[in-house]
A and B are shown apart, each in its own frame.
Chain A
Amino acid sequence: MTHTQKRILINDIVMALSTLSAIIGIGFLLWILGVLVTNGLEALSTTIFTAEGAPPGNSEGGLKHALIGQLILVSYAALFGVPLGILAGTYLSEYGLKSKMAETIRDISDIMMSAPSIVIGAFVYAMIPIILRTTDDMLQLVPSTLREAAFALGAPKYKVIIQVVYRGAKAGILTGVLLGVARVAGETAPLLFTSFNDNFLNTNMNEPMASLTVTIYNYATSPYEDWQQLGWAAAFILSMFILTLNIIGRLFLLKRKGR
């Protein structure tokens, strides 16, 4: 075989293996989603949303408290995380710019995003870095000529930011928020520490609150079949919520790029 023929053969083998890898990747996705959908749909019924958690053996059990609890937790996190994240991101993009301090904050924020959630703990703190970074990036995309034009008309800086820059980056910031919420909604680990109250959760909610994610974990690992069923239903609901947020967020981004 000539050298070139050998090269072509190796090329074909590598391409085949790469395609195989893609098939493996998609395969796992379909498997996991398939499992989720079949089990979840099977376990779903209207009472799930209205019934409260019940002891195993009672087929009337539902997820009402868990769902409400999750919504409250996520909203609470968003309530704190979104404005703080946006404001911090604004500082970076509009005031700190490329200063050493700003770069340090960006770097630390990036690292936080990838650090183990079980340690970084609470929800709230997880959302801030994500929203901070996307806000920072999106605001930087707004052309400086726009800002200059506003300044030239005599606008004070805060008005330039609020009235001009935010408006220009609206879609991008919204995407960041959606993706941040999606990411945080799926978090389980930090919530396992309900006895870990004051330092990490730092909320006024002293009552143990049911969350969807912890419920999934508890129910799914229990030996009771009806609880397991509920676990699948909960998993399904949670995933649909998160995937929908992700897809909406991406559509926003695509629309923005298309401009």
Chain B
Amino acid sequence: MATIVEITEPKALEVKDFEFTYAKADAPSIKKLSMPIARHNITALIGPSGCGKTTLLRSFNRIHDLYPGNKYEGEIIFKDRNILTPKEDLIKLRIQIGMIFQKPTAFPMSIFDNVAYGMRLQGIKNKTELQGRVEKALQDAAIWGEVKDRLKHDANGLSGGQQQRLCIARAIAVEPEVLLFDEPTSALDPISTGGIEELIVELRERVSIIIVTHNMQQAARVSDYTGFMYLGELVELGRTEEIFVTPRERLTEEYITGKFG
């Protein structure tokens, strides 16, 4: 049984007895996991390789569904519904829950078209509206100044750090409620990393954030809550200051002090 601290804020998501089995696997990768995600907060998921943190993250927007054969059990409650049911409208879900990936994934199109992509998918065609929202998203991603004169240029001309900000702008342009970050700075240099971390903290005002990271210091710097996972189970979830200073589980302490992973 995981040690989970009481969450005072309302919940953005709630995971209940969640189990996940990959297509060809004999055993589930995530076992009977329950955990709350606080709204307008940053929850970090940490743990050694293979603990299931990325698997869990990718279940929130059901991106696993792209690959046939995976099995979900249990519930993930979002806006009063279980999003794991077959009836769930995945397109709508993915607009409400966005994702940023480990490597910057700028689409092969202009900077403007990248940011506008999600909105265009929804059918927004009005030029003024698009321009306005693209500008706002790029400002919120703290990159407007750098790109405002080259919006029509190919996005691949941007540096790694800039591209990741672009991806963030692209994700927030559709005004999601939750943002999932899958090791967003693992491919970036330390300076860009710092910038992205600052950005994530600012975004907390608007969206609820879940971030998977290999880097414990990053989790400590950035998050409000931290969940430690091991071998497919949640070991402990608590306020970040407590987890890193006075963890309640021995396993957590061993991981944090570098005894393994």
Contact = CB atoms under 8 A, between A and B. Distances in A.
**Do A and B belong to a common assembly?**
yes
Nearest to B125: A3
A6 B122 CA distance: 10
Q: Contact size class for B? A: under 10
Nearest to B124: A3
A8 B122 CA distance: 11
A2 B121 CA distance: 11
Nearest to B120: A3
B7 interface: no
Nearest to A8: B91
Main secondary structure of the interface of B (DSSP, over half): helix
Contacts of A8: 91
Contacts of B122: 3-4
Contacts of A170: none
B258 interface: no
B145 interface: no
B10 interface: no
Main secondary structure of the interface of A (DSSP, over half): helix
B68 interface: no
Contacts of B86: none
A168 to B, nearest CB: 31
Interface string B19-41: 00000000000000000000000
A7 B121 CA distance: 8
A6 B121 CA distance: 10
A4 B91 CA distance: 8
B132 interface: no
B108 interface: no
A7 B123 CA distance: 9
Interface in A3-52: 3-4, 6-8
Task: Determine which residue in A3, A6, A8 has the highest number of CB atoms from chain B within 10 A of its CB, and name it.
Answer: A3
A3 B122 CA distance: 6
Interface in B176-216: none
A156 B122 CA distance: 66
Nearest to A2: B123
Interface string B93-128: 000000000000000000000000000011100000
Task: Determine which residue in A6, A7, A8 has the highest number of CB atoms from chain B within 10 A of its CB, and name it.
Answer: A7
Nearest first, the 7 A-B pairs at minimum CB distance are A3-B123, A4-B91, A3-B122, A4-B122, A2-B123, A4-B123, A7-B121
10 contacts: A2-B123, A3-B123, A4-B91, A4-B92, A4-B121, A4-B122, A4-B123, A6-B123, A7-B121, A8-B91
Given A3-B121, A4-B122, 10 more contacts: A2-B123, A3-B122, A3-B123, A4-B91, A4-B92, A4-B121, A4-B123, A6-B123, A7-B121, A8-B91
